């Protein structure tokens, strides 16, 4: 059985003058397409650290309807670990929803998103293993399943 797995990244490049407008339009288009399709999950997440407390917030939407909102507070971790955890939670929720064929993850940490798929040894291997397990189930379910960041 042949599986087509596609990971797309849309990074924002700050050094171009008109790139913010183009990037915003592209993000709007991606969001609109995700919110009108019943088989498309949109994961919006953010994480940050204040006073040594990391907060990660994950929203999972289908057809402009909030399915789940997850908020976690943790101490003594890096912002990248917090972002990876938020990505992990969002993917876990989206892959467990019935009839989801496409997942779009919107994050302000492209580094964490790319690290999610880095199989080399790094400090967040636990997150990679769990995300990989969830995505494996997601992609085995249907050959046309897709995820974008």
Q: Say yes or no to pLDDT of 140 above 70.
A: yes
Is 9 part of any domain?
Answer: no
Q: Which of 119, 126, 122 is nearest to 7 (CA)?
A: 119
Is 11 part of any domain?
Answer: no
Q: Per residue in 120-137, pLDDT tens?
A: 655 666 666 777 777 777
CATH number at residue 94: 3.30.420.10
**This prediction's pTM:** 0.70
Quote the CA–CA distance of 102 and 142 in Å, as a whole number: 10
Q: Per residue in 38-70, pLDDT tens?
A: 888 888 888 888 888 988 888 898 888 888 898
Is 7 part of any domain?
Answer: no
pLDDT for residue 135: 75
Is 46 part of any domain?
Answer: yes
Is 1 part of any domain?
Answer: no
**Segments forming the whole domain that contains residue 53:** 16-148
pLDDT for residue 30: 82
Q: Per residue in 6-39, pLDDT tens?
A: 556 666 666 666 677 787 888 888 888 888 888 8
Is 21 part of any domain?
Answer: yes
More confident residue, 89 or 23: 89
Q: Directed axis angle between helix 125-141 and helix 79-95, to 10°?
A: 20
Helix (H) or strand (E) holding 24: helix 19-35
Is 5 part of any domain?
Answer: no
* Domain count of the fold of the chain: 1
Is 62 part of any domain?
Answer: yes
More confident residue, 82 or 141: 82
């Amino acid at each position: 059985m042949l599986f087509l797995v596609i990971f797309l990244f849309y990074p924002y490049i700050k050094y171009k003058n008109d790139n913010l407008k183009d990037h915003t339009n592209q993000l709007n288009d991606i969001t609109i397409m995700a919110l009108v399709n019943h088989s498309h999950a949109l994961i919006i997440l953010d994480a940050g650290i204040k006073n040594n407390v990391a907060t990660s917030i994950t929203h999972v939407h289908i057809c402009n309807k909030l399915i789940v909102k997850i908020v976690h507070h943790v101490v003594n971790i890096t912002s990248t670990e917090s972002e990876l955890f938020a990505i992990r939670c969002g993917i876990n929720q989206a892959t467990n929803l019935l009839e989801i064929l496409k997942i779009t993850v919107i994050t302000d940490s492209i580094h964490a998103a790319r690290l999610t798929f880095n199989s080399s040894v790094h400090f967040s291997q636990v997150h990679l293993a769990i995300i990989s397990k969830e995505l494996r189930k997601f992609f085995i379910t249907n050959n046309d399943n897709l995820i974008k960041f």
